[in-house]
Amino acid sequence: MNTFPRRRRNLFALFLIGWGVIVVGRLAQLQLAQGAKYRAKAQRQQERQIEISPRRGAILDREGRELAVSVEVSSVYAAPDEVAQPAAAARSLGAALGLPAGPILARLSSEKGFVWIARKIDPAAADRVRALKLAGVRLVPETKRFYPKGSLGASVLGYVGTDDTGLAGLEYAYDSSVRGKSGRIVTFKDARRSTYGESEAPGARAEQEGATLTLSLDSGIQFAAERELAATLTELHARSGSVVLMDPSNGEILAMASAPGFDLNQYGRYPAETRRNHAIADAYEPGSTFKVVTGSVALEAGVIRMDEVIDTGGGSVRIGNVTINEDKHHDYGALTLAGVLAHSSNVGIIRVGLRLGAQRLYDGASGFGIGKPSGVDLPGEACGTFRPLSRWSSLSNASISMGQEVSLTALQLARVAAVIANGGLLVQPRLVTRLARPDGREERVAIPPPVRVISEATAKKMRDMLVGVVENGTGAEAAIPGFSVAGKTGTAQKAGPGGYQRGRHVPNFVGFAPAENPKIVGVVVVEEPQGNKYYAAAVAAPLFSRIVSQALGIMRVAPEEQRLPSTVLASMPTQYPAGLVPASSRRSTPVPVSAPAADPRVVAGEIPDVAGLSARQALALFARMGVAVRLHGAGFVTSQSPSPGAPFRPGDVATLNLSESVPSVARAAGGREETSSNPFRP
């Protein structure tokens, strides 16, 4: 009689056991099999992680002046599921940020848990957003790249994107070092989906600041180079230009200017062509400046002597069935190698190149780094053009000797000049000299040791000849009052379909100063100046003079005009009246009337004509005569007393009036610059 109730109890017990098994099984499934999935989902619902860009390290010039820094700004983000009225919020945010409401509304309508509204806004905009007090809209601190000097060094420094990743220049090349490591903020929401704070949860991490770069650039020299280059481009309506100033002893770049320029703080407003670094990205035919390479290789190979006379053949030379003429059909007659460089004779340097032969010219030019990147720590460097010997034509030996069929950048040309300036060593250019880590560690940037290209003796001979180019040749406009300058002009013409293009010239100049102990190697390039003023002698040479003279002053390199020749440094047994400078203190016999003069300006027994010379040069000329000199002013000689040709006696006093401006008499001594435009005639 108790069978039914007992059965019912048993069935109920079995039901409970079965239900328990099902519940436990489901719990096991949720906790064990799918636990990780649901825990992650819960975490996403309760936590919101925000990536914070790290503070980029600063970029400093060689004197520690700031060129690029990171400043703290605010960014606006939103949690769309917390925004009650997206349309109204979008309108309010658009008005506060100065942005269209449509894109903001699209983000606020997203199903994502987190969206950026605006990144790295200015403080005033941040205050306006903060005043709105919109639910689900918040501000988070970030850093923004700022360039205190605006456009200074823009193409060298480069710029960064909104995500703080380097996009160009040094910002790109050293991005992994400068950028640091990003941080992460974790925020929490309650059951009503309200954010109630931030936490140092395991998912959070602090950002790490990047390394600080110290450059070889000098802000003052960079400013002078950019200002003078921009003024020249404006005056001549030129397409673009570049300037490179480098320390020849170690390859440190003191300035690298590229024009037209742009404001780094608003780089997005400028086209890509304007942001181009012309000093490393543009390779061009150098024209006559390449004669420095040909002459150096020839001297090193011993195929020509300094006192050897080269016949320029009436201004033309025939290669096979092609005749190559001097520019404007000049006839320079017989010239030494120094004369070939001073007059920039195409025929003369071709004869030197033909003596070398194709193999030695190719090997020698390759040693100067022609056709190879310099290895500078910047992205986007062009290699230039220097075809393998197997691809040379019957005219290539002659063409390359005078700077055609070969192209190089302004930086690569500066590297060539540094070989002459530093005594024959090929250095690797560099911009970054050291990195400073946030923890205090400093790293010096290692560079390969220089490679010897030519002997010291060859470099000295070429240096002396390049001084002659400035003192008596086509580079007269590159003279700097108080300093000896060595250099070479070149006026190339752009090649295009069908040959060289009329009216498209590239005047350039390469040089260094002071010639006796070079502190600066400089290259200036002006692309496509308009009008009749396009020769390097009239465009690039004076630009070099203006820039390098300012750079020498900034570097505090003392003028040498008051430094007396070695003869003056000997003991001085004789007391001279105040204001007199003894041109020579040796007790040597004055030049006798019958003695031949070693200098063409010196006529035996007569006062020489020193107008147009620097004070240093004039003193050296008087040194052999035992004549004391009274100097008025500084710079170059504008007038003298006694007059040229007057008889002199030992103990006489010559008075020289000087001016900082190079007098026209000195400039007129230079010959007309050669151009590489179509010198061939069948």
CB atoms within 10 A of CB 444: 10
pLDDT-derived band at 15, boundaries 50, 70, 90:
confident
Look up 394 and say whether it is catalytic: no
Higher pLDDT, 207 or 237: 237
For range 254-273, the mean pLDDT:
94
* Shared domain check, 604 and 473: no
End-of-domain residue from the set 511, 526, 554: 554
Residues 190 and 270 in one domain: no
Q: Which residue has the higher pLDDT, 481 or 649?
A: 481
Same structural domain for residues 391 and 451? yes
Task: Give yes or no for a cis peptide into 388 (omega within 30° of 0).
Answer: no
Q: Per residue in 654-678, is it b (16+ CB within 10 Å) or e — as a string?
A: bebebeeebbeebeeebbebbbbbe
Question: Tell me, what's the pLDDT at 512?
Answer: 97
587 domain-assigned:
yes
Q: Which region among 44-53, 465-474, 516-525, 622-631 has the lowest average model confidence (pLDDT)?
A: 44-53
Per the domain annotation, does 390 fall within a domain?
A: yes
Q: Provide mean pLDDT across the span 256-273.
A: 94
Q: Are residues 422 and 539 in the same domain?
A: yes
Shared-domain flag, residues 191 and 238:
no
Give me the catalytic one of 242, 288, 345, 484: 288
Question: CA-to-CA distance for 490 and 616, rounded, in angstroms?
Answer: 28
Taking residues 440-447, report their average pLDDT.
88
**313 vs 265: CA distance, rounded Å:** 58
What pLDDT is attached to residue 513? 95
Average pLDDT, the chain: 83
Q: Which amino acid is at 539?
A: V
Please identify which residue in the block is written with the tokens 């390039």: 525
Q: Which two tokens stand for residue 247?
A: 């320390």
Q: Give the pair of three-digit tokens for residue 172.
A: 């790109």
Co-location of 396 and 429 in the same domain? yes
In a domain, 91, yes or no: yes
**What is the arithmetic mean of pLDDT over 322-326?**
87
156 in the same domain as 120: yes
The contacts of residue 494 (CB under 8 Å, 6+ apart) are 284, 285, 500, 501, 504, 505, 506, 528
Q: How many domains does the chain have?
A: 3
Query: What pLDDT is recorded for position 619?
Result: 75
Higher per-residue confidence, 467 vs 185? 467
Highest mean pLDDT among 10-19, 110-119, 255-264, 439-448: 255-264
Buried b (16+ CB within 10 A) or exposed e, 366-391: bbbbbbeebbbbbbebbebebeeeee
- 94 and 240, same domain (yes or no): no
* Percent over 90 (pLDDT), the chain: 52
Measured CA to CA, the distance from residue 93 to residue 87 in angstroms comes to: 10
The CATH number of the domain where 155 resides is what?
A: 3.90.1310.10
CATH number at 581 reads 3.30.10.20
**Single residue among 499, 526, 554 that ends a domain in this structure:** 554
The 10 Å CB-count burial string (b at 16+, else e) for 476-498 is bbbbbbbbbbbbbbbbbbbbeee
Mean pLDDT in residue range 643-656 = 80
- Angstrom distance (rounded) from CA 82 to CA 78: 8
Q: 211-226 pLDDT, tens per residue?
A: 999 999 999 999 999 9
Check residue 540 and give its pLDDT: 95
Between 327 and 571, the more confident residue is 327
Report the CATH number at residue 268.
3.40.710.10
Number of H helices, E strands in the chain: 20, 26
The answer on 386 and 471 residing in a single domain is yes
Residues in the chain: 682
Residues 535 and 581 in one domain: no
- The answer to whether 154 touches 255, Cβ cutoff 8 Å, is no
Task: Report if residue 189 sits inside a domain.
Answer: yes
Residue 535 clears pLDDT 80, i.e. is over it: yes
Is the pLDDT at 477 greater than 90, yes or no? Answer: yes
Reply yes or no on whether the pLDDT at 298 is more than 70.
yes
User: How do strand 115-121 and strand 66-78 relate by DSSP bridges?
Assistant: antiparallel
- The string of pLDDT tens digits covering residues 42-72 is 555 555 566 667 789 999 999 999 999 998 8
pLDDT in tens, 398-420: 999 999 999 999 999 999 999 99
Q: For residues 544 and 542, what is the distance between their CA atoms, to the nearest angstrom?
A: 5
Q: Give the H/E segment covering residue 12.
A: helix 3-28
3-state secondary structure of 399: helix
- Looking at the structure, tell me whether residues 499 and 550 fall in a common domain: yes
Domain span at 101: 48-215
Q: Which residue has the tokens 């062009």?
A: 382
| Domain end point (choices 500, 530, 554) | 554
DSSP one-letter string for 42-105 = HHHHHEEEEEEPPPPPPEE-TTS-EEEEEEEEEEEEE-GGG-S-HHHHHHHHHHHHT--HHHHH
Look at strands 499-513 and 486-496 and give their pairing.
Answer: antiparallel
Asked if the model's pLDDT at residue 679 lies above 70, the reply is no
Q: DSSP labels for 323-347?
A: EEE-GGG----EE-HHHHHHHT-HH
Pure H helices in 277-377? 278-281, 291-301, 337-343, 346-356, 358-367
Say if residues 107 and 78 touch (Cβ distance below 8 Å): yes
| Structural domain includes residue 41 | no
**Residue 490 falls inside a structural domain:** yes
226: number of CA atoms within 13 Å, CB side? 26
Residue 281 inside a domain? The answer is yes
Read off the pLDDT band of 593 (50, 70, 90): very low
Count CB atoms within 10 A of the CB of residue 52: 18
In a domain? residue 158 = yes
pLDDT at 632 over 70: yes
182 or 386, higher pLDDT:
386
Lowest mean pLDDT among 378-392, 460-474, 565-579, 618-632: 565-579
Which one has a higher pLDDT value, 293 or 114? 293
The CA-to-CA distance between both ends of the chain, in Å, stands at: 135
CA distance 41 to 226: 57
The verdict on 580 and 632 lying in the same domain is yes
The candidate with the shortest Cα–Cα distance to 489, out of 341, 385, 364, 284, is 341
The phi-psi region of residue 467 (left if phi > 0; otherwise alpha if psi is between -120 and 50; otherwise beta) is alpha
